[in-house]
Amino acid sequence: MLTLTPGAVTLADLETIWRDTVAVRLDPQARPQIEAAAAIVAKAAAGDVAVYGVNTGFGKLASIKIAPGDTAQLQRNLILSHCCGVGEALDSATVRLMMALKLISLGRGASGVRWDICALLEGMIAAGVTPDVPSQGSVGASGDLAPLAHMAAVMIGEGWAHLDGTRLPGHEALARAGLRPIVLGPKEGLALINGTQFSTACALIGLFMAWRLTEAAVVTSALSTDAIMGSTAPLAPEIHRLRGHRGQIDVAAAMAALMAGSDIRESHREGDSRVQDPYCIRCQPQVTGAALDLLRHAAAVLEVEANAVTDNPLVLVERGEIVSGGNFHAEPVAFAADQMALAISEIGAIAQRRVALMVDPTLSFDLPPFLTPAPGLNSGMMIAEVTTAALMSENKHIAMPCSTDSTPTSANQEDHVSMAAHAAFRLRRMCANLSVILGVEAMCAAQGVEARAPLTTSAPLRAAIEALRRSVPALTTDRYMADDIAAAAAIVSGGEMTLAAAFALPR
Residue 323 pairs with which residues in a beta bridge?
314
Query: CA 34 to CA 27: how far, in whole Å?
Result: 12
**What are 316's strand-pairing partners?**
321
Q: What is the DSSP letter of 30?
A: G
State the SS3 of 325-347.
CCCCCCHHHHHHHHHHHHHHHHH
pLDDT tens track, the chain, 507 positions: 999 999 999 999 999 999 999 999 999 999 999 999 999 999 999 888 888 888 888 777 778 888 888 888 989 999 999 999 999 999 999 999 999 999 999 999 999 999 999 999 999 999 999 999 999 999 998 889 999 999 999 999 999 999 999 999 999 999 999 999 999 999 999 999 999 999 999 999 999 999 999 999 999 999 999 999 999 999 999 999 999 999 999 999 999 999 999 999 999 988 787 889 999 999 999 999 999 999 999 999 999 999 999 999 999 999 999 999 999 999 999 999 999 999 999 999 999 999 999 999 999 999 999 999 999 999 999 999 999 999 999 999 999 999 999 888 887 788 889 999 999 999 999 999 999 999 999 999 999 999 999 999 999 999 999 999 999 999 999 999 999 999 999 999 999 999 999 999 999
Please list, in sequence order, all residues whose beta carbon lies within 8 angstroms of the beta carbon of residue 56, skipping any fewer than 6 positions away. 50, 62, 63, 64, 65, 66
Cα(70)–Cα(192) distance, integer angstroms: 19
Please report the pLDDT score of residue 129 as a whole number: 98
The residues assigned a catalytic role are 52
Close Cβ partners of 28 (under 8 Å, ≥ 6 residues apart): none
CB 174, CB 151: distance < 8 Å: no
How do strand 130-131 and strand 2-4 relate by DSSP bridges? unpaired
